[in-house]
Structure 1
Amino acid sequence: MTDDGDPPKRHRFSEGQGVDADYDQFTLDPPELKVDPTKVDPVDSRVLSDILDRRNIDRDDVEVGDLIEVGLSYMGINRFEEATETFERAARFAEEDSLDAQEAWVNKGVAHAELEEYDEAIGAYQEALRIDDDSEHAASAETNLAYALWEYGHTEQALEHAERAVEIDPRFPQAWYNRGFFLSERGLFEDAVNAFDNAIRLGMRSAEVLEEKALALEELGESEEAERVQERADELREKREERLVEDNK
């Protein structure tokens, strides 16, 4: 996630398998955690912990999916510190080594990464993968771990985890984009172009992925094709900027 007007990161976070708003175990109005918005700030980071601590709720009485949804709400308004706390609480209340716990750890890692706390992010992703390295959330954990490792300076390990993400879920476009990015960093431009093409075929038609593909094509000496791809990237970026202007009118 980037603020409007900021230069986009070349390497975005996964928007997450298992964290959609339509995830069927999420409840938007959980009775256990209902708060009167006229009495408290609904985004006050203390509200959730105060309620849980005051009531001393047992693990079986907490709807972990609701906690995850609260954390995602914090992410949506760029309250990443509160998100890390909420996801940690979700992981603690979840059944040990369950998919819910794994999902909470993956999201906790994303929140730390948004704060550029890459050491903590790496630890969260590794904990998620310790729980299950082949589950529905494992590809997201691997691809985000790859990004965090790259930011932390462990570039060789980053490519290994990007490769693993593709192996787990070959239909995950972000994983292919990550793989292409790291292959380009290693000078393996032909393989990088193939990875970017897979990301595009799977629906990742953004200016960023096209720009990375154009750079790789340029390195391969395919200047005309690189120029054509860059033009498409420029068109997408221009359309995105036009939408932002319209939305802000």
Structure 2
Amino acid sequence: MTDEERPHEFSSGQGLDEDYEEFTLDPEELNADPSQVDPVDTRVITDLLDERNIAKEQVDTESLIDVGLSYMGINRFEEATETFGRAAQFAEDDSLAEQEAWVNKGVAHAQLEEYDEAIGAYREALRIDDDSEHAASAETNLAYALYEFGESEEALEHAERAVEIDPRFAQAWYNRGFFLVERGLLEDAVNAFDNAIRLGMRNAEVLEEKARALDELGEEEEAEAVAERAEELRKEAEQEMVEEFEEG
């Protein structure tokens, strides 16, 4: 499964809408003049923080995380990794903010296919707290990165852990189903995909994976019906993209 086919999961509550608002590198704590700097240049953040030697308590970590998410929204993943790294550096030690920064740093590395760095970021997030509001995202993203890194057995363990932490996390159920298919545990995989669908994950990808599991189970008729529905959803999504492009 390619990066384009598998969505990465950002920290809870921090996902990007398609129409994300413009951003600035001028939170009160940094006090940069936007007319004098490129507003999508992470070196501005680095220079300002280093030059002034700002103490941790003086840095608005949430603003840095927002900047990193904005970089993600415009596919500037290298800048995102640097910004999330800065956020983790200036966040209070072992805080939720630091954990959130590490999770998102891992996502940015994964987008660059830097899975070793992604794995390290997710593990650091889980070191801070393996049962927090960001832990399930860290676990499910760690599972994905481990799979891409060739560690499929350990990947399933972390997918299972993500579901244990947050049983209402649709992405975690989808990941669990995917890894179960890889292990040949097809009935359990179908149940995992059904849970993801019940929790609101109604897209072509989850239906395609469910159809694959059903087909391997010998449920050809049901697999075909699910695959047809997946194709319908894919066409609907493509049409929506065309309409948005024409309107924009």
TM-score, structure 2 normalization = 0.92
- In structure 2, the gaps of 5 or more residues are 18-22
CA distance in 1, matches of 2:30, 2:227: 49
Residue 112 of structure 1: which of 83, 89, 109 is its match? 109
* Equivalent pair of 1:18/1:103 in contact (CA under 8 Å): no
1:89 matched to 2:86? The reply is yes
Aligned counterpart, 2:75: 78
SS in 2 for 1:248: helix
CA distance in 2, matches of 1:106, 1:117: 14
* Equivalent pair of 1:35/1:42 in contact (CA under 8 Å): no
Aligned counterpart, 1:41: 38
Aligned counterpart, 2:225: 228
SS in 2 for 1:32: coil
Number of aligned residue pairs: 239
Alignment deviations for residues 29-84 of structure 1 (CA, whole Å, 9 cap, x no partner) = 62113433322211122111122122221111001111111111111111111111
Question: Deviation above 4 Å: which 4+ runs of structure 1?
Answer: none
* Equivalent pair of 1:43/1:74 in contact (CA under 8 Å): yes
Aligned counterpart, 2:14: 19
Alignment deviations for residues 171-215 of structure 1 (CA, whole Å, 9 cap, x no partner) = 000000000000000111110000000000000001000000000
TM-score, structure 1 normalization = 0.91
Aligned counterpart, 1:218: 215
Residue 58 of structure 1: which of 38, 55, 60 is its match? 55
* Equivalent pair of 1:174/1:204 in contact (CA under 8 Å): yes
* Equivalent pair of 1:173/1:202 in contact (CA under 8 Å): yes
> In percent, how many aligned pairs have the same letter?
72
* Equivalent pair of 2:11/2:100 in contact (CA under 8 Å): no
* One-letter amino acid of the counterpart of residue 167, structure 1: E
- In structure 1, the gaps of 5 or more residues are 1-6
* Equivalent pair of 1:173/1:200 in contact (CA under 8 Å): yes
CA RMSD of superposed structures (Å): 1.8
